[in-house]
Amino acid sequence: MSRKIFRNRRNGVPGLVFIVYLSVALAPSVVAQTPGRGVLTGRVVDASGNAVANATVTATGMDSGQVRNATTGTDGFYKFEGLPPDKYRLKFEAAGLKTLEIPSATVEGTETVVPDEKLEAAETITAKPTPAQEDNLPNAPSSSSKAPSLSDLGLSPEQTQGNAREQALLDKRTHMLKIHQRMGLITTIPLIVTVATSLNAGGKNTSSASRDLHAALGGLTGDLYGITAYYAIRAPRVPGTETRGPIRFHKAMAWIHGPGMILTPILGIMAFDQRNRGEKVHGIASAHGPVAIVTAGAFGAALLSVSVKF
């Protein structure tokens, strides 16, 4: 069973043609699992026959008032499962296309689902937009007493249409930042131990073993820090997002502990060599300790800024 409905142009706006190919069927497997419940499925295509992805399809039970939403996939198909027997009003909304409403499609749990009469005719219908569609203004009152719908609220298509690509971007971002967070926590452990062992690495009576341990821990900290930083730097940015709140401080601290994590081991190697030659640490190498403390402090502040509310 198929059906095409053309909506004509409005005020000379080209290309606003919305064709809905609707097929309604009962899924035996679902009926078997949930007796008395049906499945409503169909496909949304544009004037060229191309699938319309991310179109919102709203099914409103005429008797129950129950509202269900579905979003078309990249192939334009949508599916409602487990629908109780009822007559459903179907509404199709997609960005750049006119909203289309189909008054009634019947779902009966034990019988083949029958769409309303208009849909049954396998012919093309050209329809002019109704006054209600023309007046699709923010908070415009309905022209009838039916239940309000999303199109009555004056929301823009960007606000109502799902964006699978953006969701995928957010998923990837969160995944990478979760690793960043875990690695940051793990890095904290050798960082603290490295700072603690510095007490035995830089004094007059220190052994080379203490310095080796301190250097090894510092190296481990640096490696883990590098991995932590990688996941923050490579996490995708979400366009149009302004950085607000404690995350700004967290990012600002990276400009201190980032260069510090590069500078500290360089100065440490210089100090390490001087000490192993029996010299007192001198010159720029003597900045190793202060730089390390500032770096560790900035790292800790960055961690706390997103962990504890001040």
At a CB cut-off of 8 Å and minimum separation 6, what does 201 contact? 210, 211, 213, 214, 215
Provide the pairing of β-strand 77-83 with 38-46: antiparallel
Residue number with CB closer to other proteins (11 or 156): 156
Q: How far apart are CA 105 and CA 6, in angstroms?
A: 19
| Minimum CB distance to other proteins, residue 306 (Å) | 7
Q: How far apart are CA 275 and CA 273, in angstroms?
A: 5
Longest CA–CA separation in the chain, Å = 97
Site residues (CB under 8 A) for other proteins? 65-69, 71, 138-139, 141-142, 145-150, 152-155, 159-164, 166-167, 169-171, 173-174, 177, 181-182, 185, 238, 241-247, 250, 306-309
Q: How far apart are CA 192 and CA 292, in angstroms?
A: 11
Return the structure tokens found at 28: 């035996």
Residue number with CB closer to other proteins (207 or 243): 243
Residue number with CB closer to other proteins (130 or 208): 130
Q: Are 13 and 41 in contact (CB under 8 A)?
A: no
| Minimum CB distance to other proteins, residue 76 (Å) | 16
Residue number with CB closer to other proteins (183 or 267): 183
Residue number with CB closer to other proteins (78 or 272): 78
Q: Are 202 and 271 in contact (CB under 8 A)?
A: yes
Return the structure tokens found at 183: 């690695």
Q: Are 98 and 10 in contact (CB under 8 A)?
A: yes
Q: How far apart are CA 262 and CA 67, in angstroms?
A: 57
| Minimum CB distance to other proteins, residue 298 (Å) | 18
| Minimum CB distance to other proteins, residue 247 (Å) | 4
Residue number with CB closer to other proteins (28 or 148): 148
Residue number with CB closer to other proteins (157 or 219): 157
Angle between helices 208-234 and 246-276 (to 10 degrees): 150
Residues counted in the chain: 310
Residue number with CB closer to other proteins (95 or 293): 95
| Minimum CB distance to other proteins, residue 190 (Å) | 18
Q: Are 90 and 115 in contact (CB under 8 A)?
A: no
Angle between helices 164-201 and 288-307 (to 10 degrees): 140
The phi and psi torsions of 174 (rounded to 5 degrees) equal -65, -40
